[in-house]
Chains A and B, each alone.
Chain A
Amino acid sequence: MNSDQFRNAFIEESMELLSSLESRLLEMEESPDDEKIAAVFRIIHTIKGSSAMFGFNEISEFTHHVENILDGVREKTVKISSELIDWTLKSGDHITALIEADESAEAKAALSRQSVDIVNAFFKAVGMEAESVPGGGDPSAAEAEAEAGEKLWRIRFKPADNIFLSGTNPLLLLDELAEFGESLILPHVEDVPALDSINPEACFVSWDVLLLTGKSENDIRDVFIFIENDSELLIQEIPADEFNTSDGEPPKLGTILLNRGDISEKALTALLEKQKRLGEMILENKAATIEAVDDALKEQDFIKAVNEKRSEKTVTASLRVSSEKLDELVNLVGELVTVHAQIERESDNSGSELSAMVEQFGRITDSLRENTMSMRLLPIGTTFNRYKRLVRDLSNEMGKNINLIMSGEETELDKTVIEKLNDPLVHIIRNSVDHGIECPEEREKKGKSPAGTVKLTAAHAGAYVRITIEDDGGGLNREKIFNKAVANHIVESDAEMSDDELFGLIFSAGFSTADKVTSVSGRGVGMDVVRRQIEGLNGSIKVESSENKFTRIILSIPLTLAIIEGFLVSVGEESFIFPLSVVEACIESRHSGRQNTTKKMVPYRDTLLPFVDLREEFNIADNRPDIDQIVIVNSDNRQIGFCVDRVIGEHQTVIKSLSGVLKGAAGFSGATILGDGRVALILDTDGIIKQSVLNEEASKNETST
């Protein structure tokens, strides 16, 4: 890694930490407990440590002050108040600004001034003296670095003979040390006398403890703080180069004994010259005691185990891979899927041996595709958490009391989809907070609890993720929307509209029924953008509402935008793909049997289903086979058929977006390349149904006029 890569790693990690800082803080505000406080403290502490290590001194200095205040919270000298939360959130924002700041001296100076202002205001807000920052609050990079890495310590502890009399239990001190990290406890019992000469109330055991920990020498010394004066205590750092040798081998026995002071250098050199096993020679020559050699061998084993564990950790730890590389991998897998389809087609005409190999190749390609796609899946909670802050800030601004309840945060969705969902969700939540939820007085008048609720839920629904944003506010006012739509010439004043159609109007450009424009919303921009963004994700949006009860906005978003399981069909020479997730069944229907019916209906499971004839819909002139295939799909909570010539079957579909004149063409959500190199269009069933209904109405109108 070069220094840029280190800096990038720091930036990436800090951004993640800052994002979790927000959610942790809000959790802490909601129900404060030591664990949550510690979590918030840890985040700031980590940022401080790593910023110092990577040379972001401005950040480390700033976070040091924030850490001091949070330390006060930990120590219960600073109360958790909304000011504390506000200022910590602001500090988080400021750290983000410091991370993202450009290198210009002007920008740096401005941020530096801001740092001072924020720190001063923060200290004031929590009632702490700014001067109380120890040492002026400039942590040395070395100190932070020391905390960041683990070190190996050798601790020699010989309690005072009379330690039992003071009520101290030395074993508890060992327990405390063991909690600091990996430890090896080596007791010394040479001084324990036989029963005939023992003072049973005196302590004769002493210990060497090897400890691998991120704690500092002071932390270790603190364990012994109450007995240090009477006991013998030696804390010695084993230098990294001593235990972490370049060949991965633990240090030699002689080195350990020498470092522990258990053998003299002279004696060791003399013995080494004899070229025998050192342990045996030391004992033969009584150069060290058997216990000392035993301890040294154990220390050697411990270091070996630590080194092995470290290298294991390196192997199993997760890797950070840039999202661009992952996208490239997805693209390559997409190409591989296409090539597989081509090979499969060619192998159909050749020997069975090749077919078997292609089949195997297909299975591997499938696994590779699934694995690659799963790498891009992230829990949607990563984006949900930021809305807690949004709702909190907005409700404070609007003087409303609003709780955000989230569920299904663990639902996974493609990374690129999650990123694109942020803006639409912000718009919808802003609308819920501003227009949806009434002010507390109004809610009380309506007999509702003064605190409003916004529910944000995510759940899997087949190949889609359904995200619901529901508020228990005033709901949509049918009359108001209708009047506004008439006034804006969107609908005729005598039009009859279903709830779905009417509520759908809120997604029209420039449409707002808000009486006043606030800084939050009401400008009539937002919901039309939301619809465009959701549709851009091949998703759909739906509104349900009941006046004075709730407004529920339901987003259905496809799991991934790159590769889907498709269902390949053909009409004449043309091929089309249905997303497999919407396909319910396939039935045959004799074309001649339906000749005279004007209404396009087919019998399916004791009912008659309407169907769309793709041949007619797309004006395909080839000869129609005698028996049609009807693909039954689930569309918008109902079933509908699509009449095609041939059903070919499942198809791994690498989605290529449509561009040029085809971009946004109704009825198609994309295209894919088939094994033979031809292009198949991916059908947007909802779009086709809408288009088909419009066409039918237009033709009816023509007939009637």
Chain B
Amino acid sequence: MKKDLESNLTIEKAAATAEILLKYINTSKEPVIDLSVVEKIDLSGIQLLLSAQKTGDKQSKEVYFTGMIKKNVYDRIFSSGFNTVHSESSDGLFKIRRNSSEL
């Protein structure tokens, strides 16, 4: 089951989002986080997505993201030096990596 995120991934919601994400990753076998509802993101939000990936690594799970990202959200991620890198095996699943890194 994939997890929908709230529309604001910003510092105001950071603590709550961190809690929701951790709970979801802990309980899901193949965690997939849907970013399509996210309308605003800042560095704290990007950091939480990166942290979610690391959490998966720690638990030997692959944390993926999915959903059509809003342009302003994508631009924000990209201008911070990150990019979305799609998985070759699963349609529509991606990770957030440093620009042009391999998956």
**A-to-B contact residues, CB < 8 Å:** 164, 169-171, 174-175, 178, 185-187, 189, 192-196, 198, 200-201, 203-205, 207, 291, 294, 298
Contact B81 A169 (CB under 8 A): no
Contact B47 A195 (CB under 8 A): no
Give bound CA distance, A298 to B83, whole Å.
Answer: 14
Contact B82 A195 (CB under 8 A): no
**B-to-A contact residues, CB < 8 Å:** 11, 14-15, 17-18, 21-22, 25, 42-44, 46-48, 50-52, 54-55, 57-58, 76, 79-82, 98-101
A195-B18, A195-B25, A205-B43 as given contacts; A294 in contact with B79, CB under 8 Å = no
Partner of B98 from A170, A189, A198, A204 at Cβ < 8 Å:
A189
Nearest-neighbour CB distance to chain A for B97, whole angstroms, equals 9
Contact B80 A195 (CB under 8 A): no
Contacts of A207 in B (CB 8 A): 81
A164-B44, A185-B80, A185-B99 as given contacts; A195 in contact with B52, CB under 8 Å = yes
Give bound CA distance, A167 to B98, whole Å.
Answer: 25
A187-B80, A192-B51, A194-B55 as given contacts; A200 in contact with B15, CB under 8 Å = yes
| Sample (6) of A-B pairs whose CB atoms are under 8 Å apart | A189-B50, A192-B51, A194-B55, A194-B58, A195-B52, A291-B98
Nearest-neighbour CB distance to chain B for A227, whole angstroms, equals 13
Give bound CA distance, A198 to B99, whole Å.
Answer: 23
Give bound CA distance, A171 to B11, whole Å.
Answer: 13
A174-B79, A198-B48, A204-B47 as given contacts; A192 in contact with B15, CB under 8 Å = no
Partner of A192 from B25, B50, B79 at Cβ < 8 Å:
B50
Partner of A201 from B11, B21, B79 at Cβ < 8 Å:
B11
Contacts of B42 in A (CB 8 A): 169, 171
Contact A164 B11 (CB under 8 A): yes
Give bound CA distance, A194 to B18, whole Å.
Answer: 10
Give bound CA distance, A194 to B49, whole Å.
Answer: 10
Give bound CA distance, A194 to B63, whole Å.
Answer: 12
A171-B76, A201-B14, A294-B98 as given contacts; A196 in contact with B81, CB under 8 Å = no
Contact B54 A194 (CB under 8 A): yes
Contacts of A185 in B (CB 8 A): 79-81, 99
Contact A201 B98 (CB under 8 A): no
Nearest-neighbour CB distance to chain A for B58, whole angstroms, equals 5
Most buried by A among B25, B76, B80: B80
Contacts of B58 in A (CB 8 A): 194, 196
Contact B47 A192 (CB under 8 A): yes
Contact A193 B54 (CB under 8 A): yes
Give bound CA distance, A175 to B80, whole Å.
Answer: 8
Q: Which 4 A-B pairs have the closest CB atoms?
A: A200-B14, A187-B81, A185-B81, A195-B22
Contact A195 B11 (CB under 8 A): no
Contact A171 B21 (CB under 8 A): no
A185-B79, A198-B48 as given contacts; A192 in contact with B17, CB under 8 Å = no
Give bound CA distance, A120 to B81, whole Å.
Answer: 51
Contacts of A189 in B (CB 8 A): 50, 98
Give bound CA distance, A177 to B46, whole Å.
Answer: 20
Contacts of B17 in A (CB 8 A): 200
Contacts of A187 in B (CB 8 A): 80-82, 98
Contacts of A164 in B (CB 8 A): 11, 43-44
Give bound CA distance, A298 to B100, whole Å.
Answer: 9
Give bound CA distance, A298 to B17, whole Å.
Answer: 33
Contacts of B52 in A (CB 8 A): 195
Contact A205 B98 (CB under 8 A): no
Contact A294 B101 (CB under 8 A): yes
Contact B15 A201 (CB under 8 A): yes
Nearest-neighbour CB distance to chain B for A289, whole angstroms, equals 13
Contacts of A196 in B (CB 8 A): 22, 55, 58
Contacts of B25 in A (CB 8 A): 195
Contact A203 B51 (CB under 8 A): no
Contacts of B22 in A (CB 8 A): 195-196
Contacts of A170 in B (CB 8 A): 43
Give bound CA distance, A185 to B46, whole Å.
Answer: 15
Nearest-neighbour CB distance to chain A for B50, whole angstroms, equals 5
Give bound CA distance, A414 to B101, whole Å.
Answer: 55
Contacts of B11 in A (CB 8 A): 164, 201
A174-B79, A186-B98, A298-B100 as given contacts; A203 in contact with B47, CB under 8 Å = yes
Contact A195 B51 (CB under 8 A): yes
Give bound CA distance, A356 to B47, whole Å.
Answer: 72
Nearest-neighbour CB distance to chain B for A156, whole angstroms, equals 13
Residue of A nearest to B63 (CB): A195
Nearest-neighbour CB distance to chain A for B78, whole angstroms, equals 9
Contacts of A178 in B (CB 8 A): 79
Residue of A nearest to B48 (CB): A200
Nearest-neighbour CB distance to chain B for A471, whole angstroms, equals 54
- Other A-B pairs beyond A185-B81, A187-B81, 13, CB < 8 Å: A164-B11, A171-B79, A192-B47, A195-B18, A195-B22, A196-B22, A196-B55, A198-B18, A198-B48, A200-B48, A201-B14, A203-B44, A294-B101
Contacts of A201 in B (CB 8 A): 11, 14-15, 44
Nearest-neighbour CB distance to chain B for A472, whole angstroms, equals 53
Residue of A nearest to B42 (CB): A169
Residue of B nearest to A295 (CB): B98
Contact A200 B18 (CB under 8 A): yes
Partner of B79 from A175, A194, A195 at Cβ < 8 Å:
A175
Give bound CA distance, A198 to B46, whole Å.
Answer: 13
Contacts of A192 in B (CB 8 A): 47, 50-51, 54
Give bound CA distance, A187 to B57, whole Å.
Answer: 19
Give bound CA distance, A359 to B8, whole Å.
Answer: 71
Residue of B nearest to A207 (CB): B81
Contacts of B101 in A (CB 8 A): 294
Contacts of A194 in B (CB 8 A): 51, 54-55, 57-58
Contact B51 A198 (CB under 8 A): yes
Nearest-neighbour CB distance to chain A for B83, whole angstroms, equals 10
Residue of B nearest to A170 (CB): B43
